[in-house]
Structure 1
Amino acid sequence: MKVHRMHTLIPRPRLFTEAEGEFVLNGTVAIAAVPDAVDAVATLTERLWAGARIRVEVVDQAPTGIRFVMDATLAPESHRVDVATDGLSITAADAAGFLHGTTTVLQLMGDGIWRSVSATARTVTVPACRIEDEPAFAWRGIMLDVARHFLPVREVLRIVDLMAMHKLNRLHFHLTDDQGWRIEIRAFPRLTEVGAWRDRTQVGADDATAPEIERPHGGYYTQADISEIVAYAANRGIVVVPEIDLPGHSQAAIAAYPDLGVPDADGHPPTVEVYQRWGISPYPLNAETSTVDFFRTVLDEVLALFPSVDIGLGGDEVPSGAWEADARSRELALERGLSHPRELQFWFLDQLRAHIEQQGRRMLAWDEVLEHDVSPDVTVLGWRGDAGIGESLRRGIPVIACPDNRLYFDYRQSDDPREPIPVGVVVGLRDVYSFNPVPEWATAEQAVLLRGAQANLWAEHMEDARSRDYMLWPRACALAEALWSGPGGAFEEFETRLQSHLGRLDERGVEHRRAGGPLPWQERPGVGGRVQEPEQRQQEIDALTAAIVR
Structure 2
Amino acid sequence: MYEPDLVPLPRSAEDGGGRLALGARTVLDAGPGTERAAHWLRTALAAATGLPLPPAGAYGEGGRGSDAGGGRGAAVRLRVDEAVAAELGPEGYRLDVTGDGAEIRGGAAPGVFWGAQTLRQLLGPAAYRRAPLPGRAWSLPYVRVADAPRFAWRGFMLDTARHFTPKDGVLRWIDLLAAHKLNVLHLHLTDDQGWRLEIARFPRLTEVGAWRRRTRLGHRASPLWDVRPHGGFYTHDDVREIVAYAAERHVTVVPEIDLPGHSQAAIAAHPELGNADAREGAPEVWDDWGVSTDVLAPTEAVLRFYEGVFEEVLELFPGEFVHIGGDECPGDQWRRSPAARARAAELGLDGVDALHGWFVRHFDRWLAERGRRLVGWDEILGDGAGGTDGAAGTGAGVAGAGLGSGAVVSSWRGRAGAVAAARAGHDVVMCPEQEVYLDHRQDGGEDEPVPIGYVRTLRDVYGFDPVPPELAGTAAAERVVGAQANLWTEVVEDQRRADYQAFPRLAAFAEVVWSGPGARDGEDGFEGRFRDFERRMTAAHYARLDALGVAYRPPSGPYPWQRRPGIAGRPFEEPPKDS
Residue in 2 that maps onto 1:222: 235
Checking the alignment, whether the CA contact within 8 Å between 1:15 and 1:133 is kept in structure 2 is yes
Match of 1:244 among 257, 262, 287: 257
Give the whole-Å Cα distance in 1 for the aligned partners of 2:91 and 2:223.
Answer: 46
Letter of the 2:500 partner, please give it.
Y
Aligned match for 2:508, one of 478, 501, 505: 478
Do the aligned partners of 1:261 and 1:270 also contact (CA within 8 Å) in 2? no
> Which range is displaced more, 136-145 or 392-401?
392-401
Match of 1:28 in 2: 25
Counterpart position of 2:426: 397
Deviation at 1:50, TM superposition (A): 1.4
Which residue type is aligned with residue 72 of structure 1? E
Distance in 1 of aligned mates of 2:330 and 2:91: 41
Amino acid corresponding to residue 272 of structure 1 in structure 2: P
Q: State the Cα deviation string for residues 161-207 of structure 1 (Å, max 9, x = none).
A: 01100000000010000000000000100000000000101111133
Greater CA deviation, 211-220 or 75-84? 211-220
- Which of 38, 43, 47 is matched with 2:44 structurally? 47
Question: For residues 95-134 of structure 1, what are the structure 2 equivalents within 5 Å?
Answer: 95-120=109-134, 122-134=136-148
Q: Which residue number in structure 1 is paired with residue 203 of structure 2?
A: 189
Deviation at 1:486, TM superposition (A): 1.2
Partner SS for 1:67? strand
Distance 2:141 2:133 in 1: 24
Shift of 1:116: 1.0
1:204 and 1:23 map into 2 onto residues whose CA distance is 52
Asked if the contact 2:32/2:79 (under 8 Å) is kept, the reply is no
Per the alignment, residue 344 of structure 2 pairs with: 333
1:531 aligns to 2:571 (yes or no): yes
Paired residue for 1:366, among 377, 387, 395?
Answer: 377
The Cα shift of 1:228 comes to: 0.5
Deviation at 1:17, TM superposition (A): 1.0
Q: Which amino acid aligns with 2:405?
A: P
Partner Cα distance (1:523, 1:23) in 2:
44
1:21 CA displacement: 1.6
Q: Which amino acid aligns with 1:62?
A: G
In structure 2, what is the Cα distance between the partners aligned to 1:157 and 1:479?
20
Please list the CA deviations of residues 235-288 of structure 1 after superposition, one character each: whole Å capped at 9, or x if unmatched: 0110000000101000000000000000135xx896111000000001001010
CA contact 2:419–2:470 (8 Å) conserved in 1 = no
1:548 alignment counterpart = none
Name the CA distance, whole Å, in 2 between partners of 1:157 and 1:427: 27
Superposition deviation, residue 123 in structure 1: 2.1
1:233 to 246, 254, 263: 246
Pair 1:314-2:325 in alignment: yes
Q: Distance in 2 between matches of 1:161 and 1:59?
A: 27
The CA distance in 1 between the partners of 2:412 and 2:377, in whole Å, is: 7
Aligned identity (percent) is 44
After superposition, the C-alpha distances for 1:342-361 in whole angstroms (9 at most, x for unaligned) are 11111112111111111100
Q: For 1:498, which of 537, 541, 544 is the aligned residue?
A: 537
**Aligned counterpart, 1:301:** 312
1:271 corresponds, among 282, 305, 310, to 282
What is the CA–CA distance in structure 1 between the aligned matches of 2:173 and 2:259, rounded to whole Å? 26
Cα pair 2:277 2:338 within 8 Å, conserved: no
Tell me how far apart the structure 1 counterparts of residues 303 and 128 of structure 2 sit (CA, whole Å).
Answer: 47
Distance 2:341 2:223 in 1: 35
Match for residue 16 of structure 2? 19
1:46 shift after superposition = 1.7
**AA matched with 1:43:** W
How far, CA to CA, are the matches of 2:127 and 2:555 in structure 1?
24
Contact 1:423 1:531 in 2 (8 A): yes
- SS of 1:31's equivalent? strand
Separation in 1 of the partners of 2:92 and 2:248?
Answer: 17
- The 5 A counterparts of 1:189-208 are 189-207=203-221
Q: Does 349-358 or 447-456 show the bigger shift?
A: 349-358
Question: Which residue matches 1:547?
Answer: none
Q: 1:466 and 2:496 equivalent?
A: yes
8 Å CA contact 1:262–1:269 kept in 2: the answer is: no
Q: State the 1:420 CA deviation.
A: 0.6
Match of 2:450 among 399, 421, 440: 421
One-letter code aligned to 2:546: D
Corresponding residue SS for 1:36: coil
CA-atom RMSD in angstroms? 1.7
Equivalent residue in structure 1 for 2:170, among 156, 161, 179:
156
The residue that corresponds to 2:392 in the other structure is none
- Deviation, 1:376, is 2.5
Point out where structure 2 has 5 or more consecutive residues left out of the alignment: 65-73, 383-395, 522-528
For 1:13 and 1:37, locate their aligned partners in 2 and report how far apart those are by CA, in whole Å.
21
For 1:327, the aligned partner's letter is P
How many residue pairs get aligned? The number is: 533
Segments of 4+ moved more than 3 angstroms: 119-122
- Give the aligned partner of residue 518 of structure 1: 558
Contact 1:29 1:66 in 2 (8 A): yes
Aligned to 2:69: none
Q: What is the aligned partner in structure 1 of residue 63 from structure 2? A: 62
| Paired residues of 2:126 and 2:133 also in contact (CA < 8 A) | no
Partners of 2:576 and 2:312 in 1: CA distance: 39
Tell me whether 1:284 sits opposite 2:295 in the alignment: yes
- Residues 61-118 of structure 1: CA deviation (Å, up to 9, x unaligned): 4255111122123112100001001311000122211110001001111131101101
AA partner of residue 507 (structure 1) = A
Distance 2:376 2:6 in 1: 34
Picking from 143, 160, 184, the partner of 1:170 is 184
Per the alignment, residue 411 of structure 2 pairs with 382
What TM-score comes out, normalization by structure 1 length? 0.94
| Aligned partner letter, 1:51 | A
Cα distance in 2, alignment partners of residues 361 and 48 from structure 1: 37
